[in-house]
A = this chain, B = another copy of it.
Amino acid sequence: MIDKRKIQEILEEYDPKELTIATVCSHSSLQIFHGARQEGFKTLGICLGRPPKFYDAFPLAKPDSFLSLDSYGAILDESDRLIEENAIVVPHGSLVEYLGTEKFERLPVPTFGNRRCLAWESDREMERDWLLKAGIDLPMRFATPEEIDRPVIVKYHGAKGGKGFFISKSKGEYLSKVDSSQRHTIQEFILGTRYYIHYFYSPIRSTGYALSKGTLEMLGIDRRVESNADEIFRIGSMDELEAAGIFPSFVVTGNIPLVLRESLLPKAFELGERVVEASLDLFGGMIGPFCLETIVTDDLKFKVFEISARIVAGTNVFIGGSPYSDLIEKDLSNGRRIAQEISLARDQRRLLEIIS
């Protein structure tokens, strides 16, 4: 992990009136650049080879300049260029995936948020400890097949995008399906409807839902569209499909907007509050956008099956504002909210509280 004092030194050399918001050209970059421009920042896109042409179609989101790399690893050699631009790098899921955890952690350039949360988020066991410490209701895990007494979802370790995951309604079904030569987790399959809730935790903004330190906001909710699981029912049920040699997969291809029953909002905020408070205790806090991936059961309880400790792609459905963010400020995307946070921290000379 890069030493925070090193980041502090770099920040002290930055011209606060000339900050540039930089990110990798994928995932949620359109709204990050758009939001940065709305708040008056310069923008820089990090890409492989030639700048992606698709930005030409979105003039309000096209970055002012590009840093073209031969490989994402080469970003470590280009940190001077980023520093010259007074760049603050905004991480998103693809940025972290492309660079790799290790390279991202030691990137000698100021990044938005707390890089220490990465270890907690990317390791399933640490993530589970964090959520349990926060007192969050999680799906059960079964150590052995003998314990299976309800529907389960079986997740092979290291499987990309949910490929190979399968669902069993009973122990017998599990035994007939599992490839026991592969490491896997047997997780309770929660019956209900999925809500991916987009939160924003600010250690410095004074308005919002008050926490022990700073405030919490909720900017929107999406549901992931998973290929092929979301449409496979159109040709048959799981059993019929298996008989035909067809299996479900859970690769995210996009997102749809939705809202939550308003009477569930107090609980939703409580969940957000708990994971932030636990993160403050565990590693100094998860700063900025995060997402709780929840299932709401038919007795109106939340089960949380995952946490993302940075901007999620589901926020892309709300580039022009959501039914929730519209109640904070019109046209407030997650990308714009990030830019506002950087702007506020700069003006209050508190950048170091939101940068690592």
Contact = CB atoms under 8 A, between A and B. Distances in A.
A230 B296 CA distance: 11
A194 B231 contact: yes
B248 A234 contact: yes
Interface stretch (A11-19, A112-120, A139-147, A259-267): A259-267
Contacts of A28: 262
B26 A263 contact: yes
A195 B231 CA distance: 12
A185 interface: no
A228 to B, nearest CB: 4
A263 to B, nearest CB: 5
A304 interface: no
A236 interface: yes
**Residue among A27, A163, A231 with the most chain B CB within 10 A?**
A231
Number of copies: 3
Residue among A54, A218, A248, A261 with most chain B CB within 10 A: A261
A55 to B, nearest CB: 9
Contacts of A264: 253
Contact of A169 (B169, B241, B254, B255): B241
A72 interface: no
Interface string A298-331: 1110000000000001001111111110111111
A238 interface: yes
B240 A237 contact: yes
Contact of A34 (B58, B210, B327): B327
Given A253-B260, A256-B258, A327-B60, A269 B237 contact: no
Contacts of A319: 323-324, 326-327
Contacts of A217: 57
A192 B262 contact: no
A43 B253 CA distance: 39
A121 interface: no
B60 A328 contact: yes
Interface of A: 26-30, 34, 52-54, 56-61, 94, 151, 161, 163, 167, 169-170, 189, 191-195, 207-210, 215-218, 221, 223, 225-241, 244, 246, 248-249, 251-266, 268-269, 296-300, 313, 316-324, 326-331
8 contacts: A53-B210, A54-B266, A59-B207, A151-B246, A234-B248, A251-B298, A318-B323, A319-B326
